[in-house]
Amino acid sequence: PHPSPARDQALHNGRWGLKAVAPRLWNALPESLRLVGVVGLEIHAQIRSNTKLFSASAVRFSSPPNSLVSFFDASLPGTLPVLNKRCVEAAVMTGLALNCTINQKSLFDRKHYFYADLPAGYQITQQRRPIAVDGVLNYSLMGGKKKKNQVVRKSARITQIQLEQDSGKSLHDDLQSQTLIDLNRAGVGLMELVMEPDMSCGEEAAAAVRELQLILQALGTCEGNMSEGQLRVDANVSVHRPGQPFGVRAEVKNINSARNLARAIDYEIQRQIQVLESGGTVQNETRAYDSKTGIFFLCSRFMPDQAVVVQEIRDRLPELPHVTRDRLVHAYNILPEHSFTLVNEDGLVEYFEAVMKQTRMNARKVIGWVTNELLGQLKQQDGSVGQSPISPSALAELLELQETGQISSSGAKQVFQEMWRSPGKTARLIVQEKDLGLVSDTEQLHGICQRIVDSHPEEVNAIRKGNKKVLNKLMGLVQKETKGRADPVLVQAILQDKTS
């Protein structure tokens, strides 16, 4: 092919395939001839429980190696499993939240594979009769063809949710040429969520995982901290032409963040497109994010499950993220993208609603304060909503001062900054100390307005000729002289009278 800077740059960035290296040719192709990605996910979520799935060993992160290991966890002869009811309830609750059918009877199987950190040589899991089946995960992402900031709603089907044990951890010491085994994690309860290939790219998969993370955290069934391995994602990726059967899939395993998930999937899609466009064949293989591969062998046996009352768990379900978003939009008449921001920041919904209960200010104005002023300050300091030095009631008091005309919007922002620096001071006290209250003295404002009108004859003449926009300039000059403290409604009325 002829030299192409665009193609060379795409290859340098790791973006291969016709779309990246020859976008005009790609756009000219009918959609039926374009290779597109197909993505399904398998997500392992560590159940939030004090003890492991089949033993009384505690579950704690960063404990000394092999300090949380029972005889059963070490697979000593004669030890028997005792199923943790909390883990069963957590799986049922998660299934209900994801609109799954809960199997009244579920069974465990043995999955045999040989890892050094799997003491028994098999994992107790579920394959043929899992806890829950046939669910759906509704999620949203920002995008769209017409509007970049549009909230796009999508869904992915959930094949099943199953309970299983986690394995231990292998610690590889290259200097000593040895591998050390830590069994603290062995036997920790996991929920594996198997999702249908209903996604088409890394962005969709990352959005789906983030939504699931929010749901699990809302339910309290999983803390969802990916950096600590509490949520681990495997992606099944293939490409095909629309209308044709799915292509051969490759599995990308053990991805530890939503961002890495999007990158790994998009990279794998482009890799497969390049293979096929080069005349090659995609292999059915397992690929870790570092390009390593692995093989699994399956074998099963059944064991009885514990009974839980599904309706009792259904009654304990909290409000889920997508329900919260819809409720906020309808209850407060805010935009969908505002609800998206509120729900995605931990604790921000509760903060916003607490402010709304204590102020008469319009919800969209309150949204501006919460998302721009409050969240802006928190992000500058890398803090969370719970660490805000300004409580919802304190912010509500400030907004009430503005809403009732006791302080201007610019003055309110000055008060907010002072409240942030001095958490013990109330908005009303700061207004008094810094003399930031609105100037509503009619006689005083008449004098100020008259001086502005007398010193700007050209602007006054323009207003009298019908250019009403110039009045805003005069109002700005009045506010500048009063340091933003003049009552804008009163100032406008006075200036209109003096320039008519």
Domain boundary among 265, 289, 314: 314
pLDDT reading at 231 higher than 60: yes
pLDDT reading at 485 higher than 80: no
Q: Could you tell me the pLDDT band of residue 146, with boundaries at 50, 70 and 90? A: low
Asked if 54 contacts 165 with a C-beta cutoff of 8 angstroms, the reply is: yes
Both tokens of 272, joined, read: 């497969």
Asked if 348 contacts 355 with a C-beta cutoff of 8 angstroms, the reply is: no
**What is the per-residue pLDDT across 63-93, written as a single tens digit (0 to 9) for each?**
999 999 999 999 999 999 999 999 999 999 9
User: Which structural domain, as residue segments, surrounds residue 22?
Assistant: 1-34
Average pLDDT, the chain: 86
Cα dihedral sign for 310, 315, 316, 319?
Answer: positive
Same domain for 39 and 22: no
Mean pLDDT of 172-177: 82
Domain boundary among 402, 433, 464: 433
Q: Is 125 left (phi over 0), alpha (psi -120 to 50) or beta?
A: beta
Give the model's pLDDT for residue 34.
81
Same domain for 137 and 172: yes
Which of 306, 310, 375 has the alpha carbon at shortest distance from 340?
A: 375
Mean pLDDT of 437-448: 80
Domains: count for the chain: 4
Give the model's pLDDT for residue 165.
95
Asked if 88 contacts 49 with a C-beta cutoff of 8 angstroms, the reply is: no
Same domain for 417 and 332: yes
Same domain for 249 and 334: no
Cα 129 to Cα 90, 105, 193, 201, 334, distances in angstroms: 17, 8, 14, 30, 44
pLDDT reading at 489 higher than 70: yes
Same domain for 353 and 258: no
**What is the per-residue pLDDT across 299-310, written as a single tens digit (0 to 9) for each?**
233 345 567 788
Same domain for 291 and 332: no
Same domain for 224 and 141: yes
Amino acid present at 442:
T
Same domain for 204 and 72: yes
Same domain for 475 and 397: no
Give the model's pLDDT for residue 28.
56
Same domain for 450 and 417: no
Same domain for 69 and 24: no
Backbone angles phi, psi at 400, to 5 degrees: -65, -35
Q: Which residues, 6 or more positions from 290, have their beta carbon under 8 angstroms from its beta carbon?
A: none
Q: Could you tell me the pLDDT band of residue 50, with boundaries at 50, 70 and 90? A: very high
Same domain for 125 and 264: yes
Q: Which residue has the higher pLDDT, 154 or 460?
A: 154
Give the model's pLDDT for residue 459.
86
Give the model's pLDDT for residue 255.
82
Give the model's pLDDT for residue 105.
92
CATH code of the domain in which 446 resides: 1.10.10
Give the model's pLDDT for residue 296.
28
Which of 109, 238, 215 has the alpha carbon at shortest distance from 158?
A: 215
Q: Which residue has the higher pLDDT, 12 or 366?
A: 366
Domain boundary among 264, 286, 314: 314
